[in-house]
Amino acid sequence: MTKQERINQSETRIFKAVFPNTTNHYDTLFGGTAMQLMDEVAFIAATRFSRQRMVTVSSDRIDFKKPIPAGTIAEFIGRVTYTGNTSLKVRVDIVIEQMYSDHREKAITGEFTFVAIDENKKPISIFNG
Ligand SMILES: CC(C)(COP(=O)(O)OP(=O)(O)OC[C@H]1O[C@@H](n2cnc3c(N)ncnc32)[C@H](O)[C@@H]1OP(=O)(O)O)[C@@H](O)C(=O)NCCC(=O)NCCS
């Protein structure tokens, strides 16, 4: 498989209904919950790309552009945007989708860096899998 094919096939999407157990007192998705789910979808995309043990080494800037209201659907999309030697970057976008219309808009964007590690927790090539 080419690198581009691996990037395409490892794109990962998680949908969540924004129910009250994930919201704050403004009735919007709590930022910490959003970041946890972003790290999770990024981790899955990184793992599906490399098929190695991956650990988060860094999270880059996360932009919260729009609040995500309770009663909407949030889609988390993780896609590999950069590949190094032992590390890669995954961009995560969160898209708000209305339940009762087809309207969608981007709400949050962030980037996470992962490193592939061996049994001794030392960095190894992301392309060995
Ligand atoms: C990940 C870890 C093994 C890397 O070890 P290290 O000694 O820093 O590794 P190196 O300096 O050899 O760098 C390895 C790669 O990571 C990249 N890297 C290291 N620190 C980075 C950072 N803060 N931001 C972005 N990239 C980073 C390097 O550029 C290098 O990339 P490349 O091989 O693609 O060029 C080590 O930092 C670690 O164990 N961290 C804890 C991870 C963890 O517990 N995460 C939370 C739970 S999943």
Owning domain of residue 93 = 3-117
Q: Is 53 contained in some domain? A: yes
Residue ID of nearest Cα to ligand 1 atom 24:
58
Residue 77 lies in a domain: yes
pLDDT, one tens digit per residue, over 21-68 is 999 999 999 999 999 999 999 999 999 999 999 999 999 999 999 999
Q: What is the CATH number of the domain that holds 58?
A: 3.10.129.10
Residue 124, domain member (yes or no): no
Distance 115 CA to ligand 1 centre (A): 5
Kindly report the pTM of this predicted structure: 0.95
Within-domain flag for 90: yes
Q: Whose CA is nearest to atom 9 of ligand 1?
A: 123
Residue with CA at minimum distance from ligand 1 atom 17: 87
Decide if pLDDT at 105 tops 80.
Answer: yes
Phi first, then psi: give them for residue 2, nearest 5 degrees. Answer: -75, 165
What is the number of structural domains in the chain? 1
Tell me the pLDDT of the chain averaged across its residues: 97
In a domain, 123, yes or no: no
> Does 36 fall in a domain?
yes
Confirm whether 126 is domain-assigned: no
Residue 93: pLDDT over 90: yes
Task: Note whether residue 51 is domain-resident.
Answer: yes
Tell whether the model's pLDDT for residue 129 goes beyond 80.
Answer: no
